[in-house]
Structures are given as C-alpha cells and as structure tokens.
Structure 1
C-alpha cells in the first residue's frame, strides 16, 4: 500500500529555517502541501515568496511571542512547530565565558521553550490540537567535547520533549528528531575539505552523512496522521550512530562489513 504524506491546509513554523537543516525541513513541508513560515536573525537574501520569512531572534521571548501571534493571526491556526534553531562553535569548556555558555543554552534550549509556550494557546484551542517537534542531536546522549554546553542543552531539550508530551496530552503531541551528522553548505569548510568529510562519514555505520531532506522527512512523518499515536518519542536519524571505537582494534572485527577504518 502506497502512503503519501499530505499536509495541505496545515500551517507549519520552522525556526532557523533559512539554511542547512532548517531549510531542508521547510522544503519538505512545502512539498507536502503545507503553508510554511520560517524565521531567523538574518534574511536569506531577497525574501522568498514561500516559505514566508520573519526576522526573529528566538532567544528573545517577546520577539517569539510576537511572531507566533502574527502567524496565528494571519492563518487563523498553527498546526506544527519545528524548533530547529541551534548550533555551537567548537570551544573548550574552560576557555569559554559565562556569557558564551548562556547564549548557547538560550539558543539550543530556551528558544524551544519560548516557541512551544507561545504556540500552546493557539494549538490547545484547535479541534485538531497541534504538534511540537524539537530537533535535538546525537550530542545529547554521548560525550560532546568541544561543544559541552550544546550537548547538555540538547539533552535538556529531549527531557522537555518527554515531559511536555505527558503534560500536554492528548491535544498536543510533542516529539523530537535526534540528528546525527548532516551534510550542509558548510560541511566541507567545517571538517577541512571533502577528503576529511569522507573520513568522518566512514565513522557512521551507513557510511554517509544525512541530507537535510532526511531530517525533513522524519519531521513530516511525525507531524502527519501516520504518527497519531506517537508522542514523547525521540526519533534517531543518524545512520546508525557511530562505530564503537573498540571495533577498530578487537581481533576479528575487521571481517565486519563496513567497519570504520
């Protein structure tokens, strides 16, 4: 039986939707027929006709509430919120300032708190309720040296997901998509070139980075009626995670197909 995700007449908000993973998520929802609204701190060049862009600093609760209220007023509803905004530069924990740690926490955790809280009155008043999706990371559940506070913030976001799924049930479903490494416009620069990207990809069991569209597809699935009984879930989209380090040295493991070098 062929299944098609059709989100026509759904209004979807995506934070950080101007590039990378966020842009891939926004495109996926557009392809599913949804009306998509994205936000970011800077516009993606000339403002596109679709999705509609709003300039918002999601770390500012007043700006977030104004944006959500504006979207709800424009469309009369909000069906899906995707808390995608996030990220962190590689920085040693001891060398970073308290201000740096606070900003990373604000961007990767509190922004999702502000967006979800602002969307709640709209979603809870709708017959169909709504869906909140939080984009987390493999860093939430494994050591994250160099991005310590980022990993901790993503772990907090997963805890928020599970708790809100219970507190806001049954009208609002809350799930998370835990992303592994994703190939974006800046991957080659970040890892030091195509050759280094290939070496990093070899540490993933499937041997490749995810595409932004892979994260978008997971979001569309969780937002759709196909996932009507799924809430409080953390869906891993990471190609199998990472090869255990011992497999590089234990006798006999060289016979395993695809073992990372």
Structure 2
C-alpha cells in the first residue's frame, strides 16, 4: 500500500508524558511538526511549552505516579481534542544511588515513576483508543539499563526491565486495536544530563559509541514518529534500539588505550 506521507499526523492527537523538557520535549515538537495536536504533562508548567510550525502543545499538570491523576490526564487530552491516537510514556529517570544503602522510599519512587506510571497512563489510554476506528499506539521510552545495568542503577534498571516486559505483555493483550512498542535509549545528550557526562558534557563518550556520537533527543523523536505512524502498522511488541549500536566492549577499549600508550 502506497503512503503519500507516512509521518503526517494531521487530525490525530498525541500525549507525551514528561513532554516539557529533554527527550519528551523533542518528541512533542516532532509530533507538532507532523501535524498532530499534542498534550504534554508535568508537575509544573514550564515557562515555554513545546512548539513547532506556529503550533504549541497543551499542558496538563499531573503526577502520573498517581493512578487517578494518570486517568484524569488521558481524559483531559481526549476531551480537549475528541480522540487520543498516540501515547508516548516518556516520564522517568533516576539519580545514581548505592544499592546497599538506598532507602525503601527511594526505591518505591523510582519504580513508581519508571514502571507503575507508564502502566497507569497506558491503561487509561487503552480505554480511549480501543473505541476508535483506527485504534492507537503506545510507545514506552526505556533504557539500555534494562539490558545492561550499570553501578548505581539497581532500582532504575529493575524498573526499566519491567517496562520492557510490560510492553510485550500489553502488546499481546491489546492488539490488534492498540499497538504497544518500546524504545531502548542509550546515552542521550540533553541539557539536564550533560553535567553528569563530565566536564566536556559527554564529548569524550563519543569514542565508545559505534556511531561516533551520543544520541540527540531528536533521534528518539524520529523513532517515535515511525512507531506511531502507518509505516509501523504491523509493528507490535517491538523493542527498537536507538543507542547508536550500544557501547564498544571494554576489552576493545582497553586494547586501544594500551596501543595508544605504547
């Protein structure tokens, strides 16, 4: 079937959790540029909302860790625009923490944000999407930590691994009306993350990534457009890696370093 413009979302509505900054902001602006009506959420409205081509996202305050707030968010988006076609579960993250000493409250909050919240919002979105002729698409933004945990990320890695399993489970239950897919992100250069990548903002890390650079938020946004669009109409339960090929093996980097010194 020929598609005139596979990334034209005119007449469709997208909801992006955590869509006011970083990856979420780029995703929101990509859908706006593609013609969609976009709703973003956060616990506080930013000074500047995502915008593209003279159009601006609608903001709704919500703590998506609260099931009632998650449902109200979805209802508000559907009522505002009359439908909901795309949900991007982007809200998440965690500071590094020592697993031996981290508090139970910290663990609970990290799991709630990175696993339970996407579940709550997806449940509410499914109730709307399954009644629509074209159904809908849910995209969960995950992390390479689900596959390859790093020190200081025990709770986060466990939650993200759960998100990947949740994606596959929902894809089984909700198809064919609602497709559910997952994106595995690696190192992404965002304003908030850059300080954590060292004094150069992560420039040196490019040497450990096969693609030769860190991802930009727009790289993840483009993947969302694909998974939500008609080109991916038969893609369901997938885990799309957007990490530039991952990271080069430590043994290879050690050999290169030794060769450079010698």
State how far apart, in whole Å, the 1-side matches of 2:144 and 2:77 are.
Answer: 31
List gaps (5 residues or longer) in structure 2: none
State how far apart, in whole Å, the 2-side matches of 1:60 and 1:229 are.
Answer: 32
Q: Report the Cα offset of residue 4 of structure 1.
A: 4.7
The residue aligned with 2:67 is: 61
The residue aligned with 1:189 is: 195
TM-score (norm 1): 0.92
The residue aligned with 1:229 is: 234
The residue aligned with 1:206 is: 211
Task: Tell me the alpha carbon deviations over residues 211-234 of structure 1, each in whole angstroms, 9 at most, x when there is no partner.
Answer: 111000000000000000000000
**Pair 1:24-2:26 in alignment:** yes
Task: Tell me the alpha carbon deviations over residues 12-39 of structure 1, each in whole angstroms, 9 at most, x when there is no partner.
Answer: 0000001000001111111111000000
The residue aligned with 1:35 is: 37
Kindly indicate whether the alpha-carbon contact (under 8 Å) linking 1:187 and 1:197 is maintained by their aligned counterparts in 2. Answer: no
SS in 1 for 2:208: coil
Choose the corresponding residue for 2:95, options 86, 89, 97: 89
Q: Report the Cα offset of residue 162 of structure 1.
A: 0.7
Choose the corresponding residue for 1:217, options 222, 227, 230: 222
State how far apart, in whole Å, the 2-side matches of 1:125 and 1:3 are.
Answer: 25
TM-score (norm 2): 0.92
The residue aligned with 1:159 is: 165
Q: Report the Cα offset of residue 203 of structure 1.
A: 1.2
Task: Tell me the alpha carbon deviations over residues 178-213 of structure 1, each in whole angstroms, 9 at most, x when there is no partner.
Answer: 11110111233222321x612222111112111111
State how far apart, in whole Å, the 2-side matches of 1:155 and 1:47 are.
Answer: 31
SS in 2 for 1:134: strand
Q: Report the Cα offset of residue 61 of structure 1.
A: 0.8
Q: Report the Cα offset of residue 123 of structure 1.
A: 0.5
**Pair 1:114-2:120 in alignment:** yes
Deviant stretches of 4+, over 4 Å: 1-4, 46-49
State the superposition RMSD in angstroms.
2.0
Task: Tell me the alpha carbon deviations over residues 114-142 of structure 1, each in whole angstroms, 9 at most, x when there is no partner.
Answer: 00011111101101111000000000001
Kindly indicate whether the alpha-carbon contact (under 8 Å) linking 1:204 and 1:240 is maintained by their aligned counterparts in 2. Answer: yes
List gaps (5 residues or longer) in structure 1: 256-261
SS in 2 for 1:133: strand
State how far apart, in whole Å, the 2-side matches of 1:254 and 1:125 are.
Answer: 61
Number of residue equivalences: 253
SS in 1 for 2:202: helix
Q: Report the Cα offset of residue 47 of structure 1.
A: 5.5
C-alpha distance 3-76 of structure 1, shift in aligned 2 (>3 A): closer
Q: Report the Cα offset of residue 58 of structure 1.
A: 0.7
State how far apart, in whole Å, the 1-side matches of 2:71 and 2:220 are.
Answer: 26
Choose the corresponding residue for 1:133, options 129, 135, 139: 139
SS in 2 for 1:202: helix
